[in-house]
Amino acid sequence: MTNPAPSATGQPDAATPSPDELALKSALQGFAQEFDGFQADITRKFSQTEERLTMLDRKTATPPARPVLSHADAGETLHLKAFDTYLRRGDDTPLRGLELEAKGLSTLQAADGGYLVDPQTAEGIRSTLASSASIRAIANVVTVEATSFDVLIDHSDIGSGWATEASEITATTTPKIDRIPIRLHELSAMPKASQRLLDDSAFDVEGWLAERIAQRFIRAEAAAFIHGDGADKPRGFLDHSAVPLELWEWGHLGYIATGADGDFAPVNASDAIVDLVYALDATYRANAVFVMNSKTAGAVRKMKDADGRFLWSDGLAAGEPARLMGYPVLVAEDMPDIGPDSTAIAFGDFRAGYTIAERPDLRVLRDPFSAKPHVLFYATKRVGGDVSDFKAIKLLKFAES
């Protein structure tokens, strides 16, 4: 290494760098520039890669699940995913291996009856059934775990009497209890869909299935609750014999006659509606509802009282039922038309007078073979119904007497 040039005083000048120091400084500056360029390049490539991964994640990643609030909540989520897999691909492995802690969901598999519908789908079906124009909307609906449900009816009040301090207390009568058994019957529906439609991930198979099952169940139930004969189906209230009000006894429904065969009376036609209302005991009138079909409703809504006022009034708010003489009207299309000896109008407290019993479980069996290239879904539930209080329902018969 050469020594630095001497200064005027004969000593090396510290302010003047040597050639070696200049070379080293230049090399360090060049290295720093190259390193900065390398670092910028790495940062740019990393940002591009991260952006591509983010775009890929948006397409493939599943959205984060909502926090599980309870074991039952977790079980319902697992059940929904497993049930979706079964509906789309027929893979029942997740369902067979699923162990749920929630009550009522621990046994998912039936020997030949398919698998329990997930709770969300089952609740959607129940909500649709409850809001339909069916007797179910106004009847007493109970959930049971057995194959039948017994309604206990007290035909008489517990005996009572007045007493003084010095008088002798007499024995009171005991009430008479009657038992009405309501047997549950199997209701089924079989909607179908193509496998290509099921393979589409955008297709809401659970919502589709709930809608199809509910619509088929509504039609079957609505008819059975009115005129079912009780053989492998619920017994409708019109299947019970109707007798004149003055001859009424338990086990029959009392009726009021219009005074004309197959029509309202030609004079004071609205009197029959008034007589029907007051044929029902005041205890039941507070929650009473008229039931008739659309044709009958069209004839009744034209009626006026003696002062020229319409008996019929439409609901003031959206979704509110029409009213006849101040009582709600359920338009049920399975009610008979006006005709000779028909009982086209019913009036009563159906929550007390008619009971529907059903099991909470709804099962679906997937069948990809019977209707190729379509897949059938055989859905079943158990439901029953019958009159539970014969005093709570009265009929209007279109007859002379």
384 and 144 in contact (C-beta within 8 Å)?
A: no
pLDDT, tens only, 215-237: 999 999 999 999 999 999 999 99
282-286: which pairs have CB atoms within 8 A and are 24 or more residues apart? Answer: 284/348, 284/349, 284/352, 284/353, 284/391, 284/392, 285/327, 285/349, 286/349
Instruction: Tell which wins on pLDDT, 396 or 117.
Output: 396
CA distance 243 to 250: 11
Q: State both tokens at 106.
A: 């621990």
Residue 197: Cβ within 10 Å count: 13
Range scoring the smallest mean pLDDT among 43-47, 78-82, 171-175, 387-391? 171-175
Number of alpha carbons in the 13 Å side-chain half-sphere of residue 197: 12
Q: Would the pLDDT of 325 be above 50?
A: yes
Whether residue 152 lies inside any domain: the answer is: no
Residue of 238, 206, 210 whose CA lies nearest to 224? 238
The confidence score (pLDDT) of residue 170 equals: 61
The confidence score (pLDDT) of residue 26 equals: 77
39 and 33 in contact (C-beta within 8 Å)?
A: no
Scan for tokens 């297709």, then name that residue: 203
What residues contact 84, with CB distance under 8 A and at least 6 apart? 205, 206
Whether residue 11 lies inside any domain: the answer is: no
Please provide residue 178's backbone torsions phi and psi, each rounded to the nearest 5 degrees.
-115, 145
239 and 135 in contact (C-beta within 8 Å)?
A: no
Residue ranges making up the domain that contains 257:
241-353+389-397
Strand partners, 365: 378
What confidence category does residue 160 fall into, taking pLDDT thresholds of 50, 70 and 90? Answer: low
The confidence score (pLDDT) of residue 131 equals: 82
Q: How far is CA 118 from the centre of its chain?
A: 12
Q: How far is CA 19 from the centre of its chain?
A: 91
Please provide residue 223's backbone torsions phi and psi, each rounded to the nearest 5 degrees.
-70, -45
The confidence score (pLDDT) of residue 296 equals: 95
Whether residue 150 lies inside any domain: the answer is: no
Whether residue 303 lies inside any domain: the answer is: yes
What confidence category does residue 69 fall into, taking pLDDT thresholds of 50, 70 and 90? Answer: very low
What confidence category does residue 298 fall into, taking pLDDT thresholds of 50, 70 and 90? Answer: very high
To the nearest 10°, report the CA torsion of 266, 272, 274, 279. 160
**Residue 245 belongs to domain with CATH number:** 3.30.2320.10
The confidence score (pLDDT) of residue 107 equals: 42
Average pLDDT, the chain: 81
Number of folded domains that form the chain: 1
Scan for tokens 């099991």, then name that residue: 359
Range scoring the smallest mean pLDDT among 276-280, 284-288, 310-314, 387-391? 310-314
**Does the bond joining 373 to the residue before it have cis omega, within 30 degrees of 0?**
yes
What confidence category does residue 292 fall into, taking pLDDT thresholds of 50, 70 and 90? Answer: very high
Whether residue 329 lies inside any domain: the answer is: yes
What confidence category does residue 387 fall into, taking pLDDT thresholds of 50, 70 and 90? Answer: very high
Q: State both tokens at 118.
A: 């997930």
Q: Which amino acid is at 243?
A: V
Whether residue 295 lies inside any domain: the answer is: yes
Q: Would the pLDDT of 307 be above 70?
A: yes
HEC sequence for the chain? CCCCCECCCCCECCCCCCHHHHHHHHHHHHHHHHHHHHHHHHHHHHHHHHHHHHHHHHHHCCCCCCCCCCHHHHHHHHHHHHHHHHHHHCCCHHHHCCCCCCCCCCCCECCCCCEECCHHHHHHHHHHHHCCCCHHHCCEEEECCCCEEEEEEECCCCCCCCCCCCCCCCCCCCCCEEEEEEECEEEEECCEEEHHHHHCCCCCHHHHHHHHHHHHHHHHHHHHHHHCECCCCCECHHHCCEEEHHHCCCCCEEEEECCECCECCCCCCCHHHHHHHHHCCHHHHCCCEEEECHHHHHHHCCCECCCCCECEECCCCCCCCCEECCEEEEECCCCCCCCCCCCCEEEECHHHHEEEEECCCCEEEEECCCCCCEEEEEEEEEEEEEECCCCCEEEEECCCC
What confidence category does residue 247 fall into, taking pLDDT thresholds of 50, 70 and 90? Answer: very high
pTM: 0.72
Mean of the pLDDT values across residues 8-14?
A: 53
pLDDT, tens only, 88-140: 877 777 776 554 443 344 444 444 567 788 778 888 888 888 888 889 999 99
Q: Would the pLDDT of 172 be above 70?
A: no
Whether residue 293 lies inside any domain: the answer is: yes
